[in-house]
């Protein structure tokens, strides 16, 4: 089966004018511009099959958004090749654009001053959606996302969460086969995040669409993505199952103890990660967990003890901070 | 609240349009009166008809400025235009035309009131009035497309302003906006004919006022067509470069 997204050694390098502060530097800049190379994306390769939902993780500036923009045709790569549904995105062919969608935090689909339902109509014309199919899709999305009250109001009168719901509906009206979602739940409250996640999951199941999703919220990634790609400083650090990332590539687990005496010093059992309302989190190498847990249970009078996987946020944070993955030994 | 913002904004725009026309009218009328009631073949009443008709043509032939494109690029709104399977030229035209349609609703009564005040004299010709309609449409398309070329330069640089201002100044004179072309010295009128400017403004206006012969009308349509083709080619060429630059540097 041909990949939905096929990326080979994709690179993006920007030339930026660099200038230090001060008058002298400013004057010098008139005569000679110092150029600096910024490697936003460095030789990334990956293959994504149709129907996959892949999480794209990385800190700010890692190259996630640049990659998404290259795959949706907004940016020209400086090296390598990306193919989406067999098309070269930067050529911006009509048939290509009709099959993809890019949702970012910026206002995309909706015209600000008119009711969303009118923007939907514009999309129907622009994407040449069959009239009957369009009506069915609109009704379906209105029902699923509870947009009934919202679609007839001018978009600028909607709250952020409401706007995001309508944006996503508009973005999927033409039933694209490939979705590029850049932080789709940013700034939304938890119930709204859940609703949008469910919508994306259902859409993926129904349409067999391929989804490439970036997010800072681990909840998004955990809920939707079996496969994650970690990118940092423009380089691909990890491409595999999320569970793999956590289990294999962190050598640690967390033991959370609630000792009867809050002042108990547990530092000789492991690295103390946090102390919160009497619950102390210890970071313990995986292999040593049974032993340490047994020792704690024997030595320390306590209310509770539990063994947990480290929160994914911590795993990711550590990956970013160290720029590589620590393997368990 | 915001609804009133739009109406207010549009009213301001129309008031500006009206003031500009009236100022020119008053100035040229004064000149005419000091010369015995006529200037360049225009009586004061004919001047009044020119500048009232001017308002309609001015409203119809506006286009997007580089500043507007610059704003969209800066705000990242251009990305959404680029993601759609349709060239931004077309939705941009609809956007522009929508504004004009609502403007006309206020403009036409205003023109009627000004007519009562300034007592214009016009000799309408049926064929000429009918010909004015396609001439206006072509004038809009031509001017819009020419301005689109300038607007696209916003993709490269924000420093185009001086050059654009020069273009604008030339257009002021050679399009019939500041004064009827007949009032220009002969050498200027000759130069004007080699520019696209008369065909973006003066041509439909003079058809409205019945001041052209059928041959002159045909010549005008031919020039509009030629310049429109040139402008469209310019947009296509520049668009390709603009996009290449935009997608090299990023939104």
pLDDT by 10-residue block (mean), chain B, 251 residues:
70 88 94 90 92 94 83 81 89 86 88 92 91 95 92 78 86 94 92 94 95 95 97 93 78 50
Band of the pLDDT at A322, cuts 50, 70, 90? low
DSSP line for chain B? -HHHHHHHHHHHHHHHHHHHHHHHHHHHHHHHHHTTSEETTEEHHHHHHHHHHHHHHHHHT----HHHHHHHHHTTHHHHHHHSSS-THHHHHHHHHHHHHHHHHHHHHHHHHHHHHH-------HHHHHHHHHHHHHHHHHHHHHHHHHHHGGGT-STTHHHHHHHHHHHHHHTTSSS-GGGS-HHHHHHHHTSSHHHHTHHHHHHHTT-S-HHHHHHHHHHHHHHHHHHHHHHHHHHHHHHHHHHHH--
Instruction: State the average pLDDT over residues A286-308.
Output: 90
Residue A328 has pLDDT above 60, yes or no: no
Instruction: State the average pLDDT over residues A232-256.
Output: 82
Q: Does B245 touch chain A (CB under 8 A)?
A: no
Partners of residue A107 in chain B, C-beta under 8 Å: 77, 80
**In whole angstroms, what is the distance from residue A181 CA to residue A67 CA?**
12
Closest residue on chain A to B5 (Cα): A113
Q: What are the pLDDT digits (tens) for A128-139? A: 999 999 999 999
Is A75's CB within 8 Å of B247's CB?
A: yes
Compute how many other C-beta atoms are within 10 angstroms of the C-beta atom of residue A241. Answer: 14
Instruction: State the average pLDDT over residues A113-125.
Output: 91
State how many domains chain B has.
Answer: 1
Closest residue on chain A to B79 (Cα): A74
Residue A20 has pLDDT above 70, yes or no: no
Nearest to A76 among B80, B86, B248 (CB): B248
Q: Which domain holds residue B24?
A: 2-249
- Name which residue leads in pLDDT, B223 or A59: B223
Q: Does A164 touch chain B (CB under 8 A)?
A: no
Looking at CA atoms only, how far is residue B215 from chain A in angstroms?
A: 41
pLDDT at B244: 82
Looking at CA atoms only, how far is residue A130 from chain B in angstroms?
A: 15
Band of the pLDDT at A327, cuts 50, 70, 90? very low
Residue A93 has pLDDT above 90, yes or no: yes
Instruction: State the average pLDDT over residues A70-97.
Output: 92
Is A126's CB within 8 Å of B79's CB?
A: no
Nearest to A109 among B75, B80, B86 (CB): B80
Looking at CA atoms only, how far is residue A70 from chain B in angstroms?
A: 9
Closest residue on chain A to B6 (Cα): A113
- Name which residue leads in pLDDT, A213 or A29: A213
pTM of the model: 0.80
Band of the pLDDT at A202, cuts 50, 70, 90? very high
Q: Which helix (H) or strand (E) holds A67?
A: helix A64-71
Q: Does A91 touch chain B (CB under 8 A)?
A: no
Residue A142 has pLDDT above 90, yes or no: yes
Q: Which of residues 119-138 of A touch B (CB under 8 A)?
A: 122, 126-128
Instruction: State the average pLDDT over residues A70-80.
Output: 90
Is B250's CB within 8 Å of A127's CB?
A: no
**B173-to-A73, A74, A301, B64, B179 alpha-carbon distances in Å:** 43, 40, 93, 20, 7
Question: Which range in A42-46, A60-64, A252-256, B133-137 is most confidently predicted, on average pLDDT?
Answer: B133-137
SS3 A66: helix
Partners of residue B250 in chain A, C-beta under 8 Å: 14, 66, 69, 74-75
pLDDT at A329: 37
Closest residue on chain B to A156 (Cα): B2
Looking at CA atoms only, how far is residue A95 from chain B in angstroms?
A: 8
**In whole angstroms, what is the distance from residue A12 CA to residue A133 CA?**
39
Domains and CATH numbers, chain A: 5-246 (3.40.50.300), 251-309 (3.30.70.980)
Partners of residue B243 in chain A, C-beta under 8 Å: 92
Nearest to B86 among A101, A108, A126 (CB): A126
pLDDT at B250: 62
| Cα torsion A274, A238, A39, A91: sign | negative
The rounded mean pLDDT for chain A is: 86
Closest C-alpha among A304, A308, A318 to residue A282: A308
Q: b/e for B185-199, b at 16 or more Cβ within 10 A?
A: eeeeeeebeebbbbb
What strands lie across the sheet with A271-276, from one edge to the other?
A271-276, A279-285, A252-259, A302-308
Instruction: State the average pLDDT over residues A255-281.
Output: 86
């Amino acid at each position: 089966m041909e990949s939905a997204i096929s990326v080979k050694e994709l690179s993006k390098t920007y030339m930026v004018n660099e200038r230090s502060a001060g008058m002298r530097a400013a004057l010098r800049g008139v005569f000679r511009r110092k150029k600096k190379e910024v490697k936003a994306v460095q030789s990334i390769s990956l293959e994504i099959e149709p129907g996959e939902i892949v999480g794209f993780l990385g800190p700010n500036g890692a190259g996630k958004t640049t990659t998404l923009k290259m795959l949706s045709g907004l940016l020209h790569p400086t090296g390598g090749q990306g193919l989406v549904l067999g098309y070269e995105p930067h050529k911006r062919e009509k048939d290509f654009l009709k099959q993809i969608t890019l949702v970012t935090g910026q206002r995309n689909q909706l015209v600000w001053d008119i009711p969303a339902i009118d923007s939907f109509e514009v999309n129907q014309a622009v994407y040449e959606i069959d009239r009957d199919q369009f009506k069915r899709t609109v009704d379906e999305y209105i029902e699923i996302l509870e947009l009934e009250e919202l679609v007839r109001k001018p978009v600028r009168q909607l709250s952020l969460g409401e706007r995001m719901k309508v944006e996503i509906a508009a973005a999927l009206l033409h039933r694209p086969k490939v979705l590029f979602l850049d932080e789709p739940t940013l700034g939304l409250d938890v119930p709204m995040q859940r609703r949008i996640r469910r919508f994306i999951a259902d859409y993926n199941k129904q349409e067999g669409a391929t989804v490439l999703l970036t997010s800072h919220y681990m909840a998004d990634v955990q809920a939707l993505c079996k496969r994650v790609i970690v990118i940092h400083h423009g380089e691909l650090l990890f491409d595999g199952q999320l569970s793999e990332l956590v289990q294999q590539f962190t050598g640690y687990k967390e033991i959370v103890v609630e000792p009867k005496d809050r002042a108990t010093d547990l530092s000789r059992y492991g690295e103390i990660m946090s102390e919160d309302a009497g619950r102390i989190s210890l970071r313990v190498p995986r292999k040593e967990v049974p032993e340490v847990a047994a020792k704690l249970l024997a030595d320390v009078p306590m209310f509770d003890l539990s063994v947990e996987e480290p929160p994914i946020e911590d795993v990711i944070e550590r990956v970013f901070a160290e720029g590589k993955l620590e393997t368990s030994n | 609240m915001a609804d009133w913002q739009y109406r207010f904004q549009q009213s301001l725009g129309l008031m500006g349009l009206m003031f500009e026309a009236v100022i020119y009218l008053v100035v040229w009328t004064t000149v005419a009166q000091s010369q015995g009631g006529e200037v360049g073949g225009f009586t004061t009443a004919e001047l009044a008809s020119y500048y009232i008709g001017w308002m309609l043509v001015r409203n119809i032939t506006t286009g997007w400025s580089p500043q507007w494109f610059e704003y969209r690029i800066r705000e990242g709104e251009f990305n959404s235009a680029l993601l759609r399977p349709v060239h931004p030229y077309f939705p941009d035209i609809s956007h522009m035309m929508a504004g004009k349609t609502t403007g006309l609703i206020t403009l036409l009564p205003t023109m009627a009131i000004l007519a009562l005040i300034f007592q214009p004299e016009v000799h309408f010709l049926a064929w000429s009035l009918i010909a004015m309609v396609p001439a206006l449409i072509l004038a809009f398309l031509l001017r819009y497309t020419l301005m689109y070329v300038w607007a696209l330069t916003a993709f490269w640089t924000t420093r185009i302003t001086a050059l654009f201002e020069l273009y604008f100044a030339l257009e002021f004179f050679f399009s019939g906006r500041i004064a009827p072309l007949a009032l220009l010295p002969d050498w200027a009128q000759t130069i004007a004919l080699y520019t696209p400017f008369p065909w973006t403004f003066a041509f439909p206006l003079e058809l409205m006022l019945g001041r052209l012969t059928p041959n002159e009308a045909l010549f005008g349509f031919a020039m509009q067509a030629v310049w429109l083709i040139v402008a469209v080619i310019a947009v296509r060429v520049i668009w390709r470069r603009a996009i290449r630059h935009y997608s090299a540097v990023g939104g």
